[in-house]
Chain A
Amino acid sequence: MRPWLSTARGALPFVVLVAAWAAVSGAGVMPAMFLPGPGDVARTGWEMAKDGSLWVNIGASLGRVLLGVVISVPMAVAAGIVVGLNRRLASVLEPVASFFNALSGIAWLPLAITWFGLGWASVTFILWNTIFFLVFFNTLVGVRTVPRIFEQAVRTLGGARRHVILQVLLPGAMPSIVTGLRMSIGFGWRALIAAEMIATTTGLGFLIFNAQNFHQTDAILAGIITIGILWLLTDRLVLQPLERWTIERWGLVSSS
């Protein structure tokens, strides 16, 4: 009974929202083309699902995110640990990483297009650099804030460098790394949608931008709703639990 009730309570605001939407669009305040009602949008969404175009575009967008994560996270964590081991290098590269962080995302698109042309390579590059710099920065900060006493303890017990890395630094930095991952996928998802509007012919961003060309507002709204739902699902079902588990498992009580 309980989970059913809380789901219902969570869904109520959206039910009200959709009802309000139906009321506004049905009232005829604006021409139907400008604000199609929930029924039209649902119907269009259903048709896009049936003819496959919705799934192809969802797959393209999610695939790019996955590719970006798989390529950039190992590189970023490895680089962050290597740099974090050297105090001098770390304190100098921290502001540099911060700068590239500030720059990340869509601002790289014209350069990416110059190098890779239009298409999935440019878009994935954007995703790569958004995720890489933030995770690198967070790994760096995470490694630096692991209290030295843990490192010294392992060394005292006769541990080699790799033991220090694998058993102290990496777990100690994990909460920071996973937070960085979550934030960077948030930024990355947004940059992805924007990049798909400009530089490719597949993906959810392209779907809604293309629909705009033909003034197909129902398709646009269906796409927007899909984007929102996908992000919420990813965040709630994957990223937040991961973050929570990491902090429970490895979060240090005394970390700043």
Chain B
Amino acid sequence: MSRRETAVTWVVLLAAFLAAWSLASATLPVPPYFLPPPTAVAAAFVDLVAKGILPVYVMESLGRILLAAAVALVIAVPLGLLLGMSRGVADFMYPILNFFQSVSGIAWLPLMLVWFGFGEKTILIAVNYTVIFPVLFNALLGVRSVPRIYVNALRTLGGSRWRIVRDVMIPGALPNIATGMRLGLAYGWRALIAAEMLVGANGLGFMIFSAQSFHLTARIMLGMAVIGALWLLLDYFVLRPVEAATIARWGLVQR
């Protein structure tokens, strides 16, 4: 399929979608705030940027998720690698990590609210928790999945423990770690929006939630589009390429 055909199909579909939306918006027998037309959403974008509101909320949410990514990289990856190196420890931790990973950070939010109240700390703990566990779990799995033959080969060649870790275990675990980061951040971004709605002070989640009480539906839709777009940017430009690259370079045949 040529590029031209793809582009034409895109334009046609987009135009049809916008037309249908505008039509529905103008004709459906519902209150005006139910379905604002696309033009209202575009106007909301311009309005929120002109008033400096959108950039601030975007920065707040992005800052929180990037912080969680950094924390996961610095704490969860080394910890996961460490735990994975001993068979006994890894087998012991596996069910526990699996359990904690299944309970999203949001489920812990009520407890955090009792401990820390409705503030930044609560949001950060919930989001960081949500990102850390998949990364920890996958790092551990990654180390365990390195075939023993590579470790033994290096040992035979006289490699020290440190060399084994550096040249076999860490690279071998990297594809899993990249996947873990991608999964953890996917869960974390969603948990962040939920936490911002619940704690209710700032951020994109708060923006779309508070817009609902004033029936500013165009703002809700705009906020949703921004939330989706930000995740897509992060996933397409950073997370997926890194994951693919680690698999290409260090992925083991049996993957």
Query: What residues make up the interface of A, taking CB atoms closer than 8 Å to B?
Result: 9-10, 12-14, 16-17, 33-34, 87-89, 91-93, 98-100, 102-103, 105-111, 113-115, 187, 190-191, 193-194, 197-198, 205, 208-209, 211-212, 215, 217, 220-221, 223-224, 227-228, 231-232, 235
Residues in A with CB closer than 8 Å to B221 are 111
Q: Which residue of B lies closest to A112 (CB)?
A: B212
Q: Which residue of A lies closest to B231 (CB)?
A: A102
Let me know if B150 is at the binding interface, CB within 8 A: no
Known: A17-B96, A190-B191. A208 touches B197 (CB 8 A): no
Known: A91-B6, A190-B190. A107 touches B110 (CB 8 A): no
Query: For the side of the interface on B, what is the size category?
Result: 35 or more
Partner of A10, one of B95, B208, B212: B95
A90 to chain B, nearest CB (A): 10
Interface bits B101-131 vs A (CB < 8 Å: 1, else 0): 0111011111101110000000000000000
Contact B232 A231 (CB under 8 A): no
Main secondary structure of the interface of A (DSSP, over half): helix
Let me know if B77 is at the binding interface, CB within 8 A: no
Contact B1 A232 (CB under 8 A): no
Can you list 9 A-B contacts with CB-CB less than 8 angstroms, sorted by A residue number?
A89-B9, A99-B228, A107-B224, A111-B217, A111-B221, A194-B194, A211-B110, A212-B113, A224-B107
A-B contact count (CB 8 A): 146
Main secondary structure of the interface of B (DSSP, over half): helix
A224 to B92, alpha carbons, bound, how many Å?
22
Residues in A with CB closer than 8 Å to B104 are 190, 193-194
Contact B115 A34 (CB under 8 A): yes
Contact A98 B232 (CB under 8 A): yes
Contact B106 A197 (CB under 8 A): yes
Known: A110-B208, A220-B114, A235-B102. A102 touches B232 (CB 8 A): yes
Contact A114 B190 (CB under 8 A): no
Contact A106 B197 (CB under 8 A): yes
Partner of B187, one of A34, A110, A190, A227: A190
